[in-house]
């Protein structure tokens, strides 16, 4: 396994669950310093077309408390991964392997490669997600 200096991943981290923890734990194995971007409430509403259950300030505090996380930053642009990569000086970005093969992430992977940043796909936890939790709460 290649060890990177600065890693980066981003997410909403609403209703923090074992899938979130798995991504952060796995990402930290690959890097010395893990930066986690938490989507602001505005970003979630604009890009996922729903409001988060847990407000941004609380999601930040939860993610900051995870021992695998070295730094937490706001994600204010859901789609611009290249600016984030340059801003934080990362050498690796992490994303769930449920995105592998998608047009969006294939394009991002090429753009990252152009600036010397690797993209690592981490195992996605299929048994749980914030959507699954929302459905269970609603009784669906």
Catalytic site residue from 3, 5, 50, 86: 50
- Asked if residue 36 lies in contact with residue 63, where contact means CB atoms within 8 angstroms, the answer is yes
The reply to whether 50 belongs to the active site is yes
**Annotated catalytic residue, options 2, 3, 5, 48:** 48
Give CA–CA dist 22/27, Å, rounded. 8
Phi, psi of 58 (to 5 degrees): -75, -35
- Please list, in sequence order, all residues whose beta carbon lies within 8 angstroms of the beta carbon of residue 139, skipping any fewer than 6 positions away: none
Sequence-distant (≥ 6) Cβ neighbours of residue 41 within 8 angstroms: 51, 52, 55, 56
Name the residues annotated as catalytic.
Answer: 48, 50
């Amino acid at each position: 396994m290649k060890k990177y200096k600065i890693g980066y991943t981003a997410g909403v981290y609403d209703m923090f669950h074992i899938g979130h923890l798995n991504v952060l734990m796995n990402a930290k194995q690959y890097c010395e310093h893990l930066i986690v971007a938490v989507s602001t409430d505005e970003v979630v509403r604009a890009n996922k077309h729903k409001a988060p259950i847990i407000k941004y300030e609380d999601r930040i505090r939860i993610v900051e408390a995870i021992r695998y996380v070295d730094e937490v930053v706001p994600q204010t642009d859901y789609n611009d991964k290249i600016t984030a990569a340059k801003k934080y000086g990362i050498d690796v970005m992490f994303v769930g392997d449920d995105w592998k093969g998608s047009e969006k992430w294939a394009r991002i992977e090429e753009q990252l490669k152009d600036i010397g940043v690797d993209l690592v796909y981490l195992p996605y936890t299929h048994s749980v997600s914030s959507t699954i939790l929302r459905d269970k709460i609603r009784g669906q």
